[in-house]
A and B are shown apart, each in its own frame.
Chain A
Amino acid sequence: MVASPVKDRPTPTEYGRKRWMQVVLLVNFVFLYFPIVALIAFSFNDSKRNIVWKGFTLKYYEKAFNNVSLHESFINSMIVASISTVMSTILGSMIGLALYRYRFPAKPAFEGWSSLPIVIPEICMGVAMLAFFYTVEIPLGLFTITVSHIAFTIPFVAVVIRARMAGFDKSLEEASRDLGAGQWQTFWNITFPYMVPGIVAGALLAFTLSLDDFVITFFTSGPGSTTFPIKIYSMVRFSVTPEVNAASTVLIVVTLALTATALAIQSRASKG
């Protein structure tokens, strides 16, 4: 780049330092943050009207925590997310590892097919799962939600694992085999430890996706199997209350913490 003649004036292509561009960025950031910040702020507002600031309070958090059905739905979400995370992490890691390691006929087609759940509209997958469970006569409930969540989170885990394996040094495995270790022993002592950061990041991603999912859950949940987003949806349909804001804020914080952890693990692993 051309050195700027006057110290603090941007050169013609330093658009990022121009005043009008900074205004553009600011407007975009306000657009992106205003709704969420308002939502979080008003969860602490000591007023039912939810619009005039009347003072700081935690009473809506207390109310949300003591709301039995909200509580139950949170536990349901945790059960679904935990089981589906374990299953999809195992299955997704297997796909990721196999795609990294083997050439096989029709591999591009297989890759495209196995990542379909990422790209097809959620509504299509939701109604497909509904039609499937109806056809095979499995009653809708936590089981059907979990099964669907596993199916749509598998490809996300596979992508993370594959990205992790791209940096793997194969000669380590060869060295292990040369030194007399068996296939199984090599996997557990060499390959698997290398995969671990990818597995953890993939698991956190799967957990977050499952915890956040609304559309697919909406079609696969039955009476008595309300998850947290479904519960918030039914509350939102009726009214805007500080209690919903409080419950939403809790979910925002949980998701942000999980995603930040996953990213930190991934970036540390890619550096190390």
Chain B
Amino acid sequence: MDSWKDNKLAFGVLLGPPTFWLVVFFTLPLAIVWVYSFGERGPQGQTILALSLANYERAVEWIHLGIIWKSVWIAAVTTALCVIMGFPLAMGIAFAPRRWRNPLLLIVILPFWTNLLIRTYAWIAVLRTRGYINFTLEWFHDKLDRLFTLVGLPEIMGTFSPLELLYNQTAVIIGLVYIHLPFMMLPIYASMEKLDRSYLEASLDLGAGQWRTLFSVTVPLVMPGIASGLLMTYILSLGTFLTPNLLGGTDSMMIGNLIAQEFGPSRDWAFGSALSFLLLYATFIILWARATFARRGAASELGI
């Protein structure tokens, strides 16, 4: 690698234009939002620049704290479900015969290449009152109804009322798990694939059962992968906007939706900016934690 001083012209020509673009069209916009976050909402919904922490104080008022708490909770449940599903999935693929691993991995990643909006829309079609699940239930209901009529018990089943599966918190969590499963599964798989299997065999040979081997040997050994997946999934679910927007109802508004609302219909950009930066700070803290874990994981691999 050369020092930049060896060829200042080439260095400047290479790094100048992209740096300019990212400063003007990325960093400056974020800086504007940061400045706005200390401002006030004017009577016509314009933003008056000021130096107050009122917006940050408002964010921790009960009504908003509820939404923030809900986001934290939804993201936590999503992350937990992702690890419950993603861990066995990663294990199944990592311990599959070698020639099967890449095809199986591809099967998991393939839906991931589909547009986020479309994947979310697909769940609307599954969960809505006239969706696939309710349709299947109705079909069974009708069959049973006919059966009971045949044996002389008509109308014991009543009329079918579809389940309200969409526009609630459960639907949001299902959608988020669906979208983020690969983010959990891939880092776990990466750790598990490198795992030295002789440790597991030693544990089994020495009399530990499969469960004990799993929790005392396998899980601690793939911990860096699990930690990375947990934090990645958490970060992504916490900052989500589209999933609760399409699948959620009034009970499942998250920080992202609140930000969108402040920048949209409520037109209180100053407050929206403060929320936006709270979300950014949370993201940075989690990223920092992830980097720390990754460093520690790398260090323990080297036997330090």
Residues of A participating in the B interface, judged by any CB pair closer than 8 Å: 1-2, 12-17, 21-22, 24-25, 28-29, 31-36, 38-39, 42, 49-52, 91-92, 94-95, 97-98, 100-104, 113-114, 116-117, 119-125, 127-132, 135, 147-148, 150-152, 154, 158, 183, 208, 212, 214-215, 219, 229, 232-233, 236-237, 240, 244-245, 248, 251-252, 255-256, 259
Q: Do residues A255 and B113 form an inter-chain contact, with CB atoms below 8 A?
A: yes
Binds A, one of B56-64, B124-132, B146-154, B222-230: B124-132
Contact pick for B95, options A14, A31, A98, A117, CB 8 Å: A14
In the docked arrangement, what's the CA distance between A104 and B121, Å? 46
Given contacts A13-B197, A104-B4, A232-B118, 6 further A-B contacts (CB under 8 A): A15-B91, A16-B96, A36-B118, A113-B22, A237-B246, A240-B125
Total count of chain B residues near the partner, CB < 8 A: 83
The distance in angstroms between the C-alpha atoms of A97 and B273, with both chains bound, is: 35
| 9 cross-chain pairs, A with B, having the tightest CB-CB distances, nearest first | A121-B239, A16-B96, A132-B29, A35-B122, A128-B29, A15-B95, A104-B4, A91-B18, A98-B14
Whether B178 and A35, one on each chain, are in contact in the complex, defined by CB atoms closer than 8 angstroms, is: yes
Using a CB-CB cutoff of 8 Å, which residues 255-304 of chain B contact chain A? 256, 259-260, 263, 269, 272-273, 276, 279-280, 283, 287
A158 CA to B17 CA, complexed, in Å: 13
8 Å CB contact of B276 from A32, A124, A151: A124
Q: Which B residues are CB-close (under 8 A) to A15?
A: 91-92, 95
Please determine whether A16 and B272 come into contact, CB atoms closer than 8 angstroms: no
Closest to B101 in A: A16
In the complex, the answer to whether B91 meets A129 with C-beta atoms within 8 Å is: no
Assess whether A121 is in contact with B15, with CB atoms less than 8 Å apart: no
- Residues 77-105 of B at the A interface (beta carbon under 8 Å): 85, 88-89, 91-97, 100, 104
In the bound complex, CA of A28 to CA of B116 (Å): 19
State the CA gap A96–B124 with chains docked (Å).
40
